[in-house]
Structure 1
Amino acid sequence: MTLGDLLADLVDERPDAVLVIDGEDDVRVTRGEFLARTAALRDVLRERGVGEGDCVGVMLPNWSDALVWQFAAAALGAHVIGINTRYGTGDIAHVLEKARPAVVAVAHDFLGIDLAGRLRAALPEAGVPAPEVAVVAGPGRPPVDAAAAARHDVGAGAWVPPEPTGPVPDPATLRGGPDALAVAFTTSGSTGRPKLAAHLGSGVATHARAVAAAGGWDESCVSLVVLPLSGVFGYVPAIAAIAAGGAVLLEPRFDPAQVLRHMTRHRVTHLACADDISGRLMDAWRAQPVDLSSWRRLLLADFYGSSAAVAAWAEDETATPAYGVYGSSELFALISFWHPADPRPQRWRGGGRPVSDGIEVRAVDLFTGESLTGDEPGELQFRGYNVVDGYLGDHDGETRAAAFTEDGWFRSGDLGTAHPDGSFGYLNRIGDSLRLKGFLVDPAEIENRLAEHPDVGRTKVVGITVSGETRAVAFVEPAEGATPDPAVLRDWCAASLARFKVPESVHVIPEMPTTVGTNGSKIRAAALRTLAEQLAAQEA
């Protein structure tokens, strides 16, 4: 089963059924219309030389166009890499360097952001050939004219994707395409820069159907997607709803009150997100309640420590069952969630029961590698169709090899427990990754950026929790003879990092606290975390 097969099946069954709703613009796209747009884009991409194994960048917000680009690229055996519209030039350069997209779809005039300008600024750092730019106007808007499109050129030309003409093409033209890499997602990384974890099209289609069946998606469902489609947690619920024959409601920006109105208007049945998004919806609903009687299921990840409060609100005040989930860029989102029979609050925690028999999980001792069962925690490891198939830019295979054990299990880097009944519980990251604004970020990425400044000697970034939200705090030891300015260093980070990666505060200290062990001296992160909490309290 490929993505093309999945779409063709849907069009054969009910071509006039709504597949995607562009919520902010109130544009409904039927299955037949979506197929026509997909086929037209596939044809022009083929004419421009895009084929099996090529990469296509998608720098679009949550518009139906983003999903069209996914299906069109997959029909050619090409893969997409989502480029978050919030990315700074450093993040974009890293993606360009690793993925080397032949074409990048860029949103025209989205929230006044010069996305093409960011792409252009990132190219020198990436050191790769400039991609073509396809200028996308957005749902319900007239096509971009030639002069406006030309302003998006970053060195290899810019063009406007065609509008479909004529009758809906035969769905059979999408069947039988190559089963190649179809999508890649950025990870948190372990060396300071994200990896680009890629999955086969058959894996996407298989997982979408498994999630739909396990999570109660069907032809009557409407899946609300507020997280970016460029990320795995936004992407999977969207594809699962499509696989079930339901509809996807896309929100390109998050306004809680507006999203609640859309949930009522479009009779939303499913929402999968973290407790930051759902928590803001909870606050908005309590301020002005709306009818959420169609809402069937909340699939909830705990990023900020408030999932229990949000789950209790959903169940007690809106009569919507809530379930904890688990997933990652390398494993897909929603590879597991708890069942209705599982008692609360257990079913609100991370983990659950795999959505398919094709997903295996085990917990192993961190030191011996022996399998553990019951309540003893170990590293969670996985096997199955859902596991990453490759990493973009990993030409020698070293990244992929390091991610797997000798007997073929994927190392998640997460601590958890595996239970005899097949379920598992997630506890926390084994490493020091930070969850910032819903994104998992390796502190080393921020540290590496700070270390590039000539006034910085050594630096360490730690996370503290303030009002239920994780905040990155940077400590800097001056370079010899230098006097670093914290405000300048924050601006230095903001120049190339996404906004959510910029440290909340930067503190200059004369010397890092260290401890000496058998492997040399190490910075005492715990001591810095305590200091960061004290400084935050003083500032408050």
Structure 2
Amino acid sequence: MRGLMQDRPLTLPHVFHRAEQLFGHKTLVTATANGRTRTTIADWAGRVRRLATALDELGLTADGRVGTFCWNTDRHLELYMAAPCTGRVLHTLNIRLFPEQLVYIVEHAEDEIVFVDRSLLPLLVPLIDKMPTVRRYIVIDDGADVPVPDDDRFGDYEELLAASEPFSGRFRVDDENSAAAMCYTSGTTGNPKGVVYSHRSSVLHSYFTMAADGPALSERDTILPVVPMFHANAWGLPYGALMAGSNLVFPGPNMTPDAILDLLSSEKVTVTGGVPTIWMGALPKLAEHDLSSLRTILCGGSAVPRSLSEAYRKAIGVPMLQAWGMTETSPIATMGVLHSEHDALDDDAKADIRARQGVPVPLVELRIVDPESGEEQPWDDRATGEVQAAGPWIASEYYRGEGGGAQFTEDGWLRTGDVATVDPSGYVRLVDRTKDLVKSGGEWISSVELENEIMAHPAVAEAAVIGIPHEKWVERPLACVVVKPGESVTQEELLEFLTPRVAKWWLPDAVEFIDEVPKTSVGKFSKKTLRDKFSGYRIDAPDVTGG
């Protein structure tokens, strides 16, 4: 017996038409080099309709890849809708990739056109002759004083829209499983791999962003996505905001702590999201801004230090709302919301719960599996294993089958590469990445947990832990530490601070003080860079393992 419901595809045109019809009065603010611009959803929707016509007139194929090399702006949001609503595939290009990687993914995706912010032309122009699939480059003038090449392949975004009549009908995509957008992983080894989001996965993920035990986006919110729109579709915040009818504030190219905090304050932002390094930089300046409108700081991309979340709670009354996921999970897979069972806990115990990555969100299933035996592990908060994920917005394979089946199990689950333990209530606690664990004397040391304890020291700004070869123990932890400006701490003081907080054999054999922890293109700690820098490192400090 079949259900007797209408069979309507879950596609992004619904999100566009809903925003256009119900929320035309809502505002979009973008910070530019020349000040802030303001527009309404109604005016923005008219421009999306002109852009849709322009994509047809440019001769793009029916499912052509539309590259964007842009900051977070309302113009970028126009492309977010115009490309998938006309059946094309939005391909957000990471502006922080190495040139060779950028050339690789443009060619691998076969981008036919690239829209580029004027301020980013110096990064892109030297590479265009290595990108033969790209026929046109459309420059979005963001106020930067940068020359545009005298080349027939380059066009102007505003002239393009002015010459195009707005599409007058309703956008339609019949197959909800057709590609809507694609984003390449920022892996530190090998070539980036393409993750292709469907209309169905994008719509379902957008619905989730409105869930009460999720980001809880609503019509009452003003949302500032600090996380780049080239990073897993800005964690779904742009599409979610349009579906909910929220106001949106875009930071543009100025991503300094002062600029972000000024936007949060003056635009009365209620929800924002970004990686821990952004919020670490903003922390010393919180007292200079009125952030009373802020209700949620979504934080992810890497494990959120407990000390950072608590610092925000004590400074402005708003702790971090931790989320975990990856490009392959669209990206949100868990949320660190507190449940009713935690209401009676004191602040310290609640902070411990918030330091976890949270529970699986609706429609996402997780399991932890022993990487050697392949056996699923119990949720008892003791057993550890690799996190594997399944659900309607979880990747099933990479574009063109890159990487083979190594990251996908025979029964269709995504192998995330993250190692975790899960408590009986379903709260995930990441232990490490499989490649970042330190194996000392046959026992595992979690670099993530050790880093968090080091960063709890009041003089430490950042810390990253890597494993280095050891003649007796195979590997031992090396702590790479950034000290806060105006502060000082010695190796001996750090080890004394850690002694009551971790097992004795976890204590780093050495501490290297560095100016900055290197970051990947999406703001995560780059352990690979540190391992390369300290290759051949030899321990001179005494053995602190205790045997």
TM class, shorter-length: 0.7 to 0.9
Secondary structure in 1 matching 2:203: helix
2:351 aligns to what?
345
1:160 is aligned to: 156
Alpha carbons of structure 1 residues 165 and 56: separation in structure 2 relative to 1, 3 Å: closer
Aligned match for 2:360, one of 351, 354, 365:
354
Q: What is the aligned residue count?
A: 444
1:257–1:398: structure 2 CA closer, same or farther, 3 Å change rule? closer
| Residue in structure 2 matched with residue 237 of structure 1 by the alignment | 237
Question: Are 1:273 and 2:309 matched, yes or no?
Answer: no
Counterpart position of 2:222: 222
Residue in structure 2 matched with residue 197 of structure 1 by the alignment = 195
RMSD: 3.7
- 8 Å CA contact retained: 1:298, 1:321: yes
Check if 1:10 corresponds to 2:19.
yes
Contact 2:138 2:154 in 1 (8 A): yes
Which residue of structure 1 lines up, in the alignment, with residue 374 of structure 2? Answer: 369
TM-score by length of 2: 0.72
| Residue equivalent to 2:50 | 40
In 1, are the aligned partners of 2:301 and 2:324 still within 8 Å (CA)?
no
Q: Does 1:82 align with 2:92?
A: yes
Per-residue CA deviations over 1:39-87 (Å, capped at 9, x if unaligned) read 1111111122224432111011112111211211101222122222333
Q: Specify the code of the residue in structure 2 equivalent to 1:68.
A: E
Following the alignment from structure 1 to structure 2, what is the Cα–Cα distance between the partners of residues 50 and 269?
39
Residue 65 of structure 2 contacts residue 88 of structure 2 at CA under 8 Å; is this kept in 1? yes
Where do residues 256-335 of structure 1 align in structure 2 (5 Å cutoff)? 256-286=257-287, 289-301=288-300, 303=302, 307-335=305-333
CA distance in structure 2 between the partners assigned to 1:43 and 1:379 by the alignment: 46
Pairwise CA distance, 1:330: 0.5
Which residue type is aligned with residue 174 of structure 1? F
1:173 aligned to 145, 165, 170, which one? 170
Contact 1:51/1:77 (CA < 8 Å) preserved in 2? no
- Is residue 2:111 matched to residue 1:101? yes
The answer to whether the 8 Å contact 1:268/1:295 transfers is: yes
2:126 aligned residue: 118
Give me the whole-angstrom Cα distance separating, in 2, the residues matched to 1:413 and 1:498. 19
| 1:525 Cα deviation after fit | 8.6
Whether the aligned pair in 2 keeps the contact of 1:106 and 1:115 (CA below 8 Å) is no
Partner Cα separation in structure 1 for residue 478 and residue 90 of structure 2: 32
Q: Is the 8 A contact 2:65 2:111 kept in 1?
A: yes
Deviation for aligned residue 1:291: 1.0
The 8 Å contact of residues 300 and 324 in structure 1, kept in 2 or not, is answered as: yes
**AA at the equivalent of 1:383:** A
Map 1:54-73 → 2, pairs under 5 A: 54-73=64-83
CA distance in 2, matches of 1:134, 1:98: 20
Aligned-residue offset at 1:346 = 2.8
Q: 2 CA distance for matches of 1:361 and 1:177?
A: 31
User: Structure 1 261/45 Cα, relative in aligned 2: closer, same or farther at 3 Å?
Assistant: same
Query: What is the aligned-residue identity percentage?
Result: 21
| Superposed CA offset, 1:140-184 (max 9, x none) | x99x9xxx755355xxx22223335899865x6124454321222
Q: Is the 8 A contact 1:222 1:249 kept in 2?
A: yes
In structure 1, how many angstroms separate the alpha carbons of the residues matched to 2:51 and 2:21? 20
For each residue in 1:364-414, what CA deviation from the matched residue of structure 2 results, as whole angstroms up to 9, or x when unmatched? 11112121122211010111111125533x2xx353533211111111111
- Under a length normalisation based on structure 1, what TM-score does the superposition of the two structures give? 0.73
Residue type at the aligned position of 2:43: E
User: Tell me, what secondary structure is at the counterpart of 2:328?
Assistant: coil
Q: Give the aligned partner of residue 402 of structure 1.
A: 406
The amino acid that maps onto 1:254 is M
Name structure 2 gaps, 5 residues minimum: 1-9, 343-348, 438-446, 449-465, 467-476, 485-519, 542-547
Which structure would you say has the larger RCO, counting Cα contacts within 8 Å and 6 or more residues apart? 1
Amino acid at match of 2:13: G
How far residue 35 of structure 1 moved from its aligned partner, in angstroms, is 1.4
Distance 2:86 2:167 in 1: 16
> In 1, Cα distance between the equivalents of 2:478 and 2:23?
50
Instruction: Check whether the contact 1:302–1:350 (CA below 8 A) recurs between aligned residues.
Output: no
Do 2:301 and 2:326's aligned partners in 1 also have CA atoms closer than 8 Å?
Answer: no
Determine the C-alpha separation between the residues in 2 that align with 1:503 and 1:302: 12
Aligned position for 2:459: none
